[in-house]
Chains A and B, each alone.
Chain A
Amino acid sequence: GAVVSQHPSRVICKSGTSVKIECRSLDFQATTMFWYRQFPKQSLMLMATSNEGSKATYEQGVEKDKFLINHASLTLSTLTVTSAHPEDSSFYICSAPNGLAGGTDTQYFGPGTRLTVL
């Protein structure tokens, strides 16, 4: 299957600082990528849709000025958590649909980034 990577896998930062998380599709191109957040023992919650060449689309309740998304290329999307606070501590996961694989929309997920804000 297709491979999606995330970097870093784990980050600890002080309150008030910004953190950037990268999501890369390694062996396919993705015009769209999705960012999810997952709290312990809960399901994945969609935060935003990252679109190459246009602005990201945010889900209701997600602050676009706090969670900056940039789809820099067909293989890279970044999520920047600005002025992070302890309540932003979570597991952030990206996914990318491999629409080139036989016309499917199979989504492949990255390994996730564990953010801890002190």
Chain B
Amino acid sequence: GENVEQHPSTLSVQEGDSAVIKCTYSDSASNYFPWYKQELGKGPQLIIDIRSNVGEKKDQRIAVTLNKTAKHFSLHITETQPEDSAVYFCAASRLNSGYALNFGKGTSLLVTP
């Protein structure tokens, strides 16, 4: 089955700095890679996703890059704000397969003012 590794487990940055979270996956058949943000006591919220036919995707301050050859993908948050503080999860799956998402263990991001 798919195994998703996520690093770092905790990340602390100052407001305005960039934050990068990295994930690797094992199943070469995986072709869908979403990122979720989870605030305390709430369900995960999709913030960005990327499919394997694309190498990079950006949405305002958030970007995701994918290296299929190396089987790793990364989340980049620029100009971080205190409200970006949360736990971020990467995941991998196969599109149109009905497969559930395989999650990384999460990264607790703290943005200090």
Contacts and interface: CB of A to CB of B under 8 A. Distances in A.
Interface of A: 1, 4, 6, 32, 34, 42-44, 46, 49, 93, 95, 97, 99, 103-112, 114
A42 B43 CA distance: 13
Interface size grouping (class) on chain B: 20 to 34
Contacts of A114: 41
A94 to B, nearest CB: 8
Contact of A99 (B41, B44, B96, B103): B96
B100 interface: yes
12 contacts: A4-B43, A34-B100, A42-B106, A43-B104, A43-B106, A105-B93, A105-B95, A106-B46, A107-B101, A112-B41, A112-B42, A112-B43
Given A105-B95, A109-B46, 17 more contacts: A1-B46, A4-B43, A32-B98, A34-B101, A43-B105, A43-B106, A46-B101, A103-B96, A106-B34, A106-B46, A107-B46, A109-B36, A109-B45, A111-B42, A112-B42, A112-B43, A114-B41
A104 B106 CA distance: 24
Interface in B51-104: 89, 93, 95-98, 100-101, 103-104
Given A99-B96, A103-B96, A109 B43 contact: yes
Given A32-B98, A105-B32, A110 B104 contact: no
A6 B106 CA distance: 23
A43 B101 CA distance: 12
A44 B101 CA distance: 9
Interface of B: 32, 34, 36, 41-46, 49, 89, 93, 95-98, 100-101, 103-106
Nearest to A47: B100
Contacts of B104: 43
Interface-centre pick from B41, B44, B46, B96 (highest chain A CB count, 10 A):
B44
Given A43-B89, A49-B98, A103-B96, A108 B46 contact: yes
